Amino acid sequence: MAIRSTDSIDGLAFSGEAATAFSATPSEIECEVIGLFDQFRNSLLRYALSFGLSVHDGEEVTQEVFLALFQHLREGKSRHNLRAWIFRVAHNLALKQRQANQRLSGGRDSHEARAEKQPDLAPSPEERVLSRQRQQHLMAVLQALPERDRCCLGLRLEGLRYREIAPVLGMSLGAVSISLTRSLARLMRANER
């Protein structure tokens, strides 16, 4: 069958799921996922980047989270506390991506490389040197924190409440509180020096 330049797929008839996939109006679940994507994509990307991932990998993790969310909702699974669920999936996917990156790169520490690449907008060279030293010191203190404490801190910075952080990291509410208190105290002490 020859295809003429005037032919289009608009006139083709699709059956079942294919027709639904090409329908002009998004389903209720699609609208919900799009809304959640708009609401959380920047926070999820920042959280993924806190694992030392590249922007590309962080965006991939973010997309995978929302694909998983779409499948989760389409299957009729729980809608209880979707924000915590989204961050839990992002946490797991970011860890997997970081491990894959480390296997490929031979385990080089990308956190240090990220700290060195961050732009510094201080006006004078002296202020730049002082700022860089301070930043490196704080990054070193942050890297010295146990991974669970870093993750707690990152989720709290993204606006999650203690009771949302706890299930994401598989911790008790008290453990989240202790972790955040300990982490913030260490960072404040390091900042005073």
Tens-digit pLDDT profile for residues 126-147: 777 888 888 888 889 888 999 9
Domains and CATH numbers, the chain: 26-108 (1.10.1740.10)
Sign of CA dihedral 4, 5, 11, 14: positive
Q: What is the pLDDT of residues 41-83, one digit of tens each?
A: 999 999 999 888 999 999 999 999 999 999 999 998 988 889 9
- Other CB atoms closer than 10 Å to residue 181's CB: what's the count? 10
pTM comes to: 0.58
- Checking if the pLDDT of 9 tops 50, the result is no
C-alpha distances in Å from residue 96, one per residue of 41, 51, 140, 168? 19, 10, 23, 15
